[in-house]
Structure 1
Amino acid sequence: MPHIPMSSLLRQKMFMRFWLARLTGIMANQMLMVAVGWQMYDLTGSAWALGLVGLFQFVPALLMTLPAGHAADRWHRGKIFAACMALQAVVAATMAFSAWQHSTSRELILGLSILLGMARAFQMPAQQAITPRLVPPSMLQRAVTLSSSGMEFAVITGPALGGLIYMAGATAVYASCTALLLVSTGLTLGVRYAHQANQNAVSWRSTLAGLAFVWRQKVLLGALSLDLFAVLLGGATALLPIYAKDILHTGPQGLGLLRAAPSVGALLMSLALMRWPLHRRVGHKLLAAVAVFGLATLAFGLSTHIGLSMLALALAGAADNVSVVIRLTIMQLDTPDDIRGRVSAVNSLFIGASNQLGEFESGALAAAVGPVASVVIGGLGTLAVAALWFKLFPGLAQRDQFENQPRQTELLKS
């Protein structure tokens, strides 16, 4: 067998350590959101209140994500991620104490949602930008797929486990989240890599450099904005407590299964992509995956049977996983490392808008026209976005292979 340099072994060890840290952190976060969503709806009975949880997470993320990307290019990305896990542990511990004291309120949940939004603003650019520092470019697609597999496993087990633990009370769920988030913090603090700090002075120009780079790279702009608008319109996550309680007539356990279902499909798709990586016609496959996501959202919106609803959500998750792998691989390979944190921040901003702002949109629309109509309108909107992006971004639609070499940006040199 050929000798493997120690540096390669060390990089593999660091990647797997960070992979495990992400796994435990995301699992805890999913458990946390199941408990928060159920408690909020139980307290208020309001779709509007569920939407506000997403909005209160999105606003701080909107304000802080671009500066967070600059921070990820200047400081150690692992330490930033660890600090974000620690802050989420504080939120979970606070929720555990309030549940134990029977003092949980709508205002407390919304206030802590702001802290969650701040944590995620710094978490996402750091976790996305660190992976290319831990693996060689030739292994990046597989590393992204493996990371996605771990995330989907966490999103499967987290909600299901959260729903089961909720049977013992909300305090037990929040205490479990706190423990897992502290484990994630400790694992991440042990991650080492050759950190190269960006030496550009902090300014609006340097902070917005990632946004300017994405705007110039039309394929990248098309890929990131496609996910933004597709999930913004088609996401139904915020309405799952309503579907579980009022339409499918199940409890917290059923809600946990519904939240886990998309990740079951995504995990199966991740395993398939690890066995058969994507090589050709990646642009067409990206747009097709978004269209399938829209169709699956329509099926979920019209379903009144929990088995069919879970199947539709699993199909949506599988399609979304294809989109994630293609989008992130293109982003990482087309972006130089000195600006990767800020470009990852732009992607995080788009993801936050599609998820948290999408939750607010779903809740507000459901309050106006009902949950079923809200989800159906969102599914139709996602199909329209896939068709429109085919025309607006022909370079993305015609993208055949992943780039093997990152482009050099002149953005910071001009």
Structure 2
Amino acid sequence: MAKNDPYAALRIKEFNIFLLMRLLLVFGWSMQFIVIEWQVYSLTKDPLSLGIIGLMEIIPAFTMALFAGHIVDQREKRNLLALCIALFSLISLGLFLLTWPRLVSNWSTHSVLYGIYGLVFFGGFLRSFFGPTIFSLVALIVPKAVYPNAATWSTSTWKTAAVLGALCGGFFISWMGVDTTLCLVFILVALSFVLTFQIKKKPILNKKIGEPVKDSLKAGVQFVFQNKAILGALTLDMIAVLFGGTVAILSVFAQDILNVGSQGFGILNASISLGSIITMFITTYIPISKNTGKKLLVAVFIFGLSIIGFGLSSLFWVSILMLFISGAADGISMIIRQTILQLKTPDEMRGRVSSVNSMFVGSSNELGAFESGLAAKIMGPVAGVVFGGFMTLLTVFAIGVKNPVLRELDLTEDMQINLND
């Protein structure tokens, strides 16, 4: 196998099936997120209601994260993923029913809203299992030599699905309506469930099956906090996403500031992911192993600047450009973070380490959504977004100074060792 083969992971049949399954799942998931945010804001006209969506998901996702990682490390990964997808399909079906006029035409707005919040809460519970399971399963499908390449393609597929879901979500609201769009999401999730069984069951590599939960969780947390490279990368992304997230209130900008409607809303969402996709595909040809830490810090700094630019913009095309740049910078930081995690994490601890990652970064998406909604409520949407961008810049400076291990991180030697395994 060529050392710099950008298609190394794609030469593995099961990995291609995994990518297709993830494409369908995330496409539906992303579109569902967009549609629900649009529907909730249309019902309430209150930006804080968008923040509550994030809060409803973060509570179960954060509190269950470590326990979910323990379960993932103790169980067979393929079947666990299939179970998660099956349960997620029930959420998609429930959201469709809550927006179906024939069913809810006589319901009060509060009843529909509380029903949506309830299903989002259940989705947060499931999400605590999704991340660790997918992270662990990838490492069992591909050999160690292609971990970095597989991480790039997996994350690129996720972002491709996200951009298509965001774009189609906005357009489908206009073309098909909210309820029909959510019915389509249910169908896509069902298809991803079927594809999961085209992947073979995988061995359980954890040698401590039956280990007490307390000891297992303690070992996972200790590993992360003792590894300064992993801890620094997770902390940087967590705070950047927490304060720099704008997705949660894009519907406010689309409807009340830029006045571009549902189609413009879809374009704004899509521009973020499109920027990520382009940079992710570029990194398959241009490895990020050399000066990894510095590249991560620069990427997050550019992300913060672009968020400030978006907040200050009143022109649609400038807003699109700023979001595109933010997505490009975020794509680079995601690839670097995933590569660090794949190369620095032992096989038997992948579930728990991924769970800590979800607590740091994944949950900060939802907490960031709440922060964005609250900031928009208190300061106004423009000031709230600009404030978040400045906080991101301050975070980059602080971590760059306080964590020299991350700042000087270089993965060239780690990747060479894996190639020689």
Range class of TM-score, shorter chain = over 0.9
Is this contact kept in 2: 1:233–1:382, CA < 8 A? yes
Secondary structure, counterpart of 1:377 in structure 2? helix
Matches within 5 A, 1:252-331: 252-331=262-341
| Residue of structure 1 in register with 2:200 after alignment | 192
Is this contact kept in 1: 2:9–2:146, CA < 8 A? no
| Residue of structure 1 in register with 2:115 after alignment | 108
Deviation at 1:200, TM superposition (A): 4.1
Matches within 5 A, 1:131-142: 131-142=138-149
| Residue of structure 2 in register with 1:180 after alignment | 188
Is this contact kept in 1: 2:10–2:16, CA < 8 A? no
How many residue pairs were aligned? 401
Deviation at 1:254, TM superposition (A): 1.4
Q: Measured at CA, do residues 366 and 10 of structure 1 come closer, stay the same or move farther in structure 2, by a change above 3 Å?
A: closer
Cα deviation per residue 1:177-214 (whole Å; 9 max; x = unaligned)? 00001111111132125412521423212123221110
Q: State the alpha-carbon separation in 1 of the partners of residues 231 and 10 from structure 2.
A: 34
Cα deviation per residue 1:39-97 (whole Å; 9 max; x = unaligned)? 10001111111000000000000111111111111112222222222222111111212
RMSD: 1.9
| Residue of structure 1 in register with 2:407 after alignment | 397
Higher mean C-alpha displacement, 334-343 vs 393-402: 393-402
Q: State the alpha-carbon separation in 1 of the partners of residues 96 and 299 from structure 2.
A: 39
Q: State the alpha-carbon separation in 1 of the partners of residues 268 and 78 from structure 2.
A: 32
Is this contact kept in 2: 1:200–1:206, CA < 8 A? no
Cα deviation per residue 1:2-58 (whole Å; 9 max; x = unaligned)? 9xxxxx999811111111111110000111011100010001111111000000000
Is this contact kept in 2: 1:134–1:193, CA < 8 A? no
Q: State the alpha-carbon separation in 1 of the partners of residues 70 and 196 from structure 2.
A: 20
User: Which residue of 338, 342, 361 corresponds with 2:348?
Assistant: 338
Is this contact kept in 2: 1:11–1:134, CA < 8 A? no
Q: State the alpha-carbon separation in 1 of the partners of residues 53 and 202 from structure 2.
A: 38
Is it true that 1:76 corresponds to 2:84 in the alignment? no
Secondary structure, counterpart of 1:275 in structure 2? coil
Structure 2 residues not aligned, in runs of 5+: 3-7
Q: State the alpha-carbon separation in 2 of the partners of residues 149 and 333 from structure 1.
A: 18
User: Which residue of 345, 363, 377 corresponds with 1:367?
Assistant: 377
Is it true that 1:28 corresponds to 2:28 in the alignment? yes
Is it true that 1:223 corresponds to 2:212 in the alignment? no
Is it true that 1:385 corresponds to 2:407 in the alignment? no
| Residue of structure 1 in register with 2:38 after alignment | 38
Aligned identity (percent) is 37
Q: State the alpha-carbon separation in 1 of the partners of residues 289 and 60 from structure 2.
A: 38
Q: Measured at CA, do residues 90 and 281 of structure 1 come closer, stay the same or move farther in structure 2, by a change above 3 Å?
A: same
Is it true that 1:251 corresponds to 2:261 in the alignment? yes
Q: State the alpha-carbon separation in 2 of the partners of residues 79 and 239 from structure 1.
A: 36
Is this contact kept in 2: 1:207–1:342, CA < 8 A? yes
The TM-score, its normalising length taken from structure 2, stands at 0.92
| Residue of structure 1 in register with 2:5 after alignment | none
Q: Which amino acid counterpart does residue 409 of structure 2 have in structure 1?
A: R
Higher mean C-alpha displacement, 53-62 vs 273-282: 273-282
Q: State the alpha-carbon separation in 2 of the partners of residues 10 and 180 from structure 1.
A: 23
Is this contact kept in 1: 2:148–2:342, CA < 8 A? no
Deviation at 1:144, TM superposition (A): 0.9
User: Which residue of 149, 152, 156 corresponds with 1:145?
Assistant: 152
Q: Measured at CA, do residues 369 and 10 of structure 1 come closer, stay the same or move farther in structure 2, by a change above 3 Å?
A: closer
